[in-house]
Amino acid sequence: MASPTGDSRRYLVIGRQAALDVVPATMVPYAFFDSVTVNRHYEKDIPEFKRNNRWQRTAGKTKTKYIEITAVGRMDSTQVGWALSSLAGPPTGAAVTGWLFEFGQSQQQPVSATNSMYLTLQWGEGLATTWQAVNCVGSKFAMRYAANGVWEVTMTFLGTDQTQIAQIDTAYVPPDDESPFEPYQTVFSIGGVPFHVADFDLTIDNKREPLFGSPLALPAPGAAHGLVPIRFTEGSIQATYSLTGFFEDATEYASGQPYWDAERDAIEVWNIEARDADTDLGGSVHPGFLIDMTRMFGTTPDLDRSQPNVFQKVSGEAFWDPAAGAAGTGAILTLVNAQASYAGS
């Protein structure tokens, strides 16, 4: 049966590469995405020359180009791990006991199935063909929580270019649990003490930039114009957050809360855990995710008195911790699921 087309056909498929330029054998449809946006970064050269009495523009060519792919979806226990393999780095761990993703890792050489941070992305937009981008790298990862809303993730990737391939059939197989996660399944803790949160967002920016170099061969007749990046550099990495929490009683006024800690330049230890209590992976282990941030530093403490309930609003950064993990990162995301492997293929 032919694949359906039309405006209602939308899909996002992610695969982790085992080598550069090689499309993975295993491509996983992401069941919890809402939208995909593709921005094509083209730099054009349109020179102008003095002819007769006027400066005139008579031609133009593409100098450089690359693409930026942004996917927005919901936080789940399993499938987001394929994207995190590039956004954070190769995970360690195992099924059921947990897969640990430490942000701040770098691509090791040579590229292999176990250390690869390169992805192939495929997406459809209601057309009779599929778009594909190979050798993509994770640029930015954002998580947003609202107590009266949802857990949302935004994932941004950079790639050299996109091509069209034959339309693919997508068989969505969501994790065998209650993903995506809801606010009632989530507990925020500061210094080991649970804390009421109204909304929270965390953005980890790898600050990747395209690196251009001269080609190794002259262009062929009719070839596409413009240089594509040799690779994307790994620049400084920054994790920023904003929080709205309650500020109601003596406990909230005490030290150890975000507002007061930001006033005193105190470092906080944050843990965010979500659990699907109705699914058992065996041995009373439940699917979920855990975010450990060991050095949270508030930069803009404020109190919102515009409503009957006073809220503390704090923005800040998640500092990197040389004592935390092999990557020295202050942000570690653990997925607890039944996924057997996140290796490239």
What torsion, rounded to 10 degrees, do the Cα atoms 46, 49, 55, 57 define? -30
Domain boundaries along the sequence of the chain: 10-42+63-211+230-336
CA-wise closest residue to 336 among 81, 7, 45: 81
Give the model's pLDDT for residue 231: 92
Give the model's pLDDT for residue 129: 84
Contact 122, 129 (CB under 8 A): no
Give the model's pLDDT for residue 1: 34
Successive 10-residue mean pLDDT values, the chain, 345 residues: 52 94 93 92 89 81 95 95 95 94 90 95 85 96 96 96 86 86 94 90 94 94 93 90 78 65 87 94 93 91 83 90 62 92 94
CA-wise closest residue to 21 among 119, 165, 158, 138: 119
CA-wise closest residue to 311 among 254, 260, 244: 244
Structure-block tokens of residue 273: 């855990």
pTM: 0.91
Give the model's pLDDT for residue 2: 43
Q: Give me the phi and psi of 120, to 5 degrees please.
A: -110, 130
Give the model's pLDDT for residue 314: 93
Give the model's pLDDT for residue 128: 80
Contact 182, 98 (CB under 8 A): no
